[in-house]
Amino acid sequence: MSIQCTKVKPNGQQCKMRTLKGPFCWIHAQQYGVRVKPSGIHNLGLFATKTYRVNEAIDEYKGDILEIPIDDVPANKDYVFTITDNYHVDGENPNSSFARYINDSRGTNLRPNTKWAVDRRNKVVRVRAKRHINGTKANPVELLIKYGRQYWTAARNRAKEANDEEDED
Among 21, 22, 28, 99, binds Zn ion (CB under 5 A): 28
Residue 29 interacts with Zn ion (CB under 5 A)?
A: no
> Which of these, 165, 155, 168, 81, lies nearest to 123 by C-alpha position?
81
34 binds Zn ion (CB under 5 A): no
* Residue 15 in contact with Zn ion, rule: CB under 5 A: yes
**Smallest separation (angstroms) from Zn ion to the CB of 26:** 8
What length is written for the chain?
169
Q: What are phi and psi of 128, to 5 degrees?
A: -125, 160
Interface with Zn ion, residue 48, by CB under 5 A: no
Among 21, 22, 23, 25, binds Zn ion (CB under 5 A): 25
* Closest to Zn ion by CB, 4 or 108: 4
Distance, CA of 111 to CA of 130 (rounded, Å): 10
Helix (H, G, I), strand (E, B) or coil at 147: coil
Strand 3-4 with 114-119, pairing = unpaired
Q: Which range touches Zn ion (CB under 5 A), out of 28-36, 117-125, 134-142, 159-167?
A: 28-36
Stretch that binds Zn ion, among 16-24, 67-75, 136-144, 154-162 (CB under 5 A): 16-24
Q: 57 and 143 in contact (C-beta within 8 Å)?
A: no
DSSP string, 51-79: EE-TT-EEEE---EEE-S-GGGS-TT-TT
In the bound complex, what is the minimum distance in angstroms from residue 56's beta carbon to Zn ion? 22
Q: Which residue's CB is nearer to Zn ion, number 7 or number 100?
A: 7
Q: Footprint of Zn ion on this chain (CB under 5 A)?
A: 5, 7, 15, 17, 25, 28
